[in-house]
Amino acid sequence: MRIALAMAAAPTLLAGLLSTAPTAAANNDRLNESVVADIHNAMMMAGCADDYKIEPMVKVNPKLRLAAEWQANDVLTNRALDGDIGSNGSTVTDRARAAGYAGVVAETVAINPALAINGIDIMNQWFSRPDYKATMVNCGNMDIGVWSVNGLDRSVLVAVYGRGDAAPPVPAGGRQFGSPSSPP
């Protein structure tokens, strides 16, 4: 009797636990940094430079990282999203402008239906899409912002690329870049 009662209650208990499960709070700095390095290497292979000892062709820009963070969080929490358009209809340009970046921008998004995502999965997804590959190897992209987030059953990584920002720095308003936030 007790076993039957426990088995009958198990699905309800499991559903309750899963519905209140928090998102995974992983430190993805190493992954984000490795994606920047992978994009640098892709640019090198595309002929953007011929000397592997040069400074990185793309430099991390905190404004673009913030725009990437907003979209990664949006894609993670809104299952209907599968890429570049935000739940509020925003484009990568809209998010970059809201973060204070004034240059031309583009974006790549990787989604993995699992707790984790790795650089190989990301590059395989992006190289298999001609539009994303063209963005990654565009020698004009000099700035980049990368952000990744994980849920228990979905991981998202967004890279926002820029071709030069003439806008002055945007004050962080007491919030350090990299802390959770939402777009204005």
State whether residue 145 is helix, strand or coil: strand
| pLDDT surpassing 50 at residue 19 | no
Per-residue pLDDT reduced to its tens digit, 111-146:
998 888 888 889 999 999 999 999 999 999 999 999
Q: Domain 26-162: what homologous superfamily?
A: CAP (3.40.33.10)
CB 94 within 8 A of CB 85: no
* CA 137, chain centre distance (Å): 18
Q: What is the pTM of this model?
A: 0.77
In contact, 55 and 141? CB cutoff 8 Å: no
Reduce the DSSP state of residue 144 to 3 states and report it: strand
Rounded to 5°, angle at Cα 13 from 12 and 16: 85
Q: Output the average pLDDT for the chain.
A: 81
Name which of 23, 32, 58 is nearest 110 in CA terms. Answer: 32
